[in-house]
Amino acid sequence: MTNKELLKIAEQFGTPTYVYDADSIKTQYEKLTSSFHKTTRFFYACKALSNINILKYVQQLGAGLDCVSINEVKLGLKAGFPKDKILFTPNCVDLSEIEEAMSFKVHINIDNISILEQFGNKFGGSYPIFVRINPHIYAGGNHKISTGHIDSKFGISIHQLRHIERIMKSTKLLVEGLHMHTGSEIKDPDVFLQGLEIMFELADHFPDLKYLDMGSGFKVPYQESDMETDVKTLGKKVEKAISDYEKESGKKFQLWFEPGKFLVSKCGHLLVKTNVIKHTTATTFAGVDSGFNHLIRPMFYDSYHIIENISNPKGSERIYTVVGNICETDTFAWDRKIPEIHEGDILVFRNAGAYGFEMSSNFNSRLKPAEVLYLDKKAHLIRKRDEFEDLLKNQIEVL
């Protein structure tokens, strides 16, 4: 979609507004399906962006759904995902949440010994499960999004394999899938091959195994110098590794991946309005009508988002520090070259589809932004902007 179309959306729906380009999601999904063997399955990690319309669109493309909370499971079912195409991978939840997921008959992935033992003692082999393994591989673009290292809270350590086997033996636990996720923003595709080799080594210990789930972590470029995971090369390497393993072992498994950011990051554009241009002795600030209550990634992960002035794209470049309107240090970008910004200009933050609105809040009693889906060359409002009454919605006045 063009900047002209984005400006029209800003005029029609106001700012701040998240805009998602459906064609971008489709392009990313087809890039994956064309790069891997036809038996490989992709489960969209909906924690990246869970608007019901996005879920319906991804389901129509043919993907399954990766969920990390029981409410994501319910959203997935409501969006039309078949129960056998939903994987529930919670972390640090009570057994009761897993039991609720069982009532929906979705795939369940257990990532710690305590719950594995509780589940086995209560249900034995009556309900097949996945087990999430921590491979002790440090990968990812930031420590906060690296989930497979030795100190991670995610997964059961590969060094606890004997403990898993004891539970399987004593409770008749039926393990049909092994799961591994090392992190996000993985630059080296060989990390996946390293993880796959670990999966192959573990497979002999699970006689009922049907699925190997490699999680995801495919990198997307946030700035011009960034790389994107070469999924075509990765697909060929993975296919060869699996083929070699099948010939050697005589076993066959279905391979799963869980792309989240890879599918929806590029599709997202956050539109904001410039409220104030403020000059100090050392800095020129462009203050916008948003903050980390709407896009926390730059502050939380030190992430980079391209920022463009779509109201004055051909203006002379100036150096700005782009900040928000929150009573905290909510700096989106330091000393960034941007075509000259005037008060009232519309700026766009690129690659804002993943973990943008999804991590938004009402901090400072600010309202959450609107969401728009650009589909079939038309802008559709898919979430209304918060109103003041929404801040009081669940409050109970006692004074």
Phi, psi of 384 (to 5 degrees): -70, 150
Helix (H, G, I), strand (E, B) or coil at 323: strand
Q: Is 245 annotated as a binding residue?
A: no
Angle between helices 70-79 and 95-103 (to 10 degrees): 20
Q: Does the annotation mark 327 as catalytic?
A: yes
Going by C-beta distance under 8 Å and a sequence separation of 6 or more, which residues neighbour residue 290?
15, 16, 270, 272, 324, 325, 369
Give the closest residue to 123 by CA, choosing from 95, 84, 154, 162. 95
Give the closest residue to 355 by CA, choosing from 173, 220, 178, 188. 220
169: how many CB neighbours lie within 10 A of its CB?
10
- Give DSSP secondary structure letters for 10-60: HHHH-SSEEEEEHHHHHHHHHHHHTTS-TT-EEEEEGGG---HHHHHHHHH
Q: Is 117 annotated as a binding residue?
A: no
Contact of 68 with 50, CB cutoff 8 Å: no
Q: Is 124 annotated as a binding residue?
A: no
Q: Of the residues 46, 92, 267, 327, which is catalytic?
A: 327
* Tokens coding 163: 């403990």
Measure the CA–CA gap between 107 and 110, rounded to whole angstroms: 10
Q: Is 217 annotated as a binding residue?
A: yes
Q: Is 297 annotated as a binding residue?
A: yes
List, as residue ranges, the binding site.
Answer: 217, 297, 301, 328, 355
List, as residue ranges, the binding site for substrate.
Answer: 297, 301, 328, 355
Residues annotated as part of the active site: 327
List, as residue ranges, the binding site for pyridoxal 5'-phosphate.
Answer: 217, 355
